[in-house]
Amino acid sequence: MLDGKRFLVIVLLLAAFAGLAGCASKKAAPAAAADPADDFGPVVADPIEPWNRFWFAFNDTLYMGVGKPFSAVYTRVLPKYGRDRIENAYSNFLFPVRFVNAVLQLRPDMASRELGRFLINSTFGLGGLYDLAASKPDMGPQKLDFGQTLGVWGFGHGFYLVLPVLGPSSLRDGIGMAGDVAAQPTTYLNTPIVLTLAISGAGRVNRFPEMIDIYEELKRSSIEPYTAARDAYVQLRAKVIEDARRSNPVFGGHKTSEAATTAP
């Protein structure tokens, strides 16, 4: 699994030189609408659409055929209370990832909030099972990932990429995902591979039921699920980056076209 991830990193990094730099400054140009609320919002290039559609269909079969029945059993065996504990512990385990990204985004405030959350939840929250910190104002969970960091630095998506099993992503966010894996404690601490797999596996599987719900909802409410998923992904990421930029004194000054188009 780790080897697979390393391979992914190399492939993505190579692709990065080809695509990312060029696309970073390229402007997404939605047709100017008479009404500002009538534009198409943030867009992403999709040059490998047939490839993406193949994996989208593949993932759909996987989610519906394996993921959904599995989730049904999983949620019956493990009630919400138990799933919440695992989610909290997994999120606590990923603290270094968020911390590193806060630093990379030059956000001492977010970094110290992450550190504070980690210390409180690891001790009084029983190793992260309970998110006690969140009950204090301004100590709730934060969204921080490396794809977001790259976005804050001014990189665009490059192009849309549907990953096998993992789903919607982009060149930039795929690289981000690989970077975040590298920042996971089990990557640099000398832990047995079994433990690494157990933690990541449990954390990801635990998120599965919710993910399946969201995916099914998207499928049932959309006319063109592929476009709906792509658009939802791009809007979601634009928001995550825009939020990080807006509150960032260093990177807030120069908004990318991507961040700007989400403004009302």
Interface positions, 73-92, toward other proteins (CB under 8 A): 80, 84, 87-88
**Quick check: 83 and 75 in contact, CB under 8 A?**
yes
Residue 104 neighbours by CB under 8 Å, 6+ apart:
146, 149
Beta carbon nearer to other proteins, 12 or 233:
233
> Which tokens hold the place of 248?
């960032």
- 30 secondary structure, DSSP code: P
Q: How many residues bind other proteins (CB under 8 A)?
A: 35
57 binds other proteins (CB under 8 A): no
Q: Longest C-alpha distance within the chain, in Å?
A: 59
Quick one: which of 220, 249, 253, 254 contacts other proteins (CB under 8 A)? 220
> Which tokens hold the place of 164?
């096998």
* Stretch near other proteins under the rule CB under 8 A, chosen from 9-17, 67-75, 105-113, 219-227: 219-227
In sequence order, the β-bridge partners of residue 169 are 161
Per-residue H/E/C for 88-107: HHHHHHCHHHHHHHHHHCCC
Distance of CA 172 to the CA centre of its chain: 11
Quick one: which of 140, 189, 195, 204 contacts other proteins (CB under 8 A)? 140
Beta carbon nearer to other proteins, 18 or 57:
57
Smallest distance from other proteins to CB 46, Å? 11
> Which tokens hold the place of 241?
């980056």
Binding mask 179-218 for other proteins (x = CB under 8 A): ----------------------------------x---x-
Give the span between the Cα atoms of 165 and 188, in whole angstroms: 25
* Stretch near other proteins under the rule CB under 8 A, chosen from 37-45, 58-66, 150-158, 172-180: 37-45
To which residue do tokens 């080809």 refer? Answer: 18
Q: Which residues bind other proteins (CB under 8 A)?
A: 31, 33-34, 37-41, 80, 84, 87-88, 131, 140-141, 213, 217, 220-224, 227-228, 231-232, 235-236, 238-240, 242-243, 262, 264
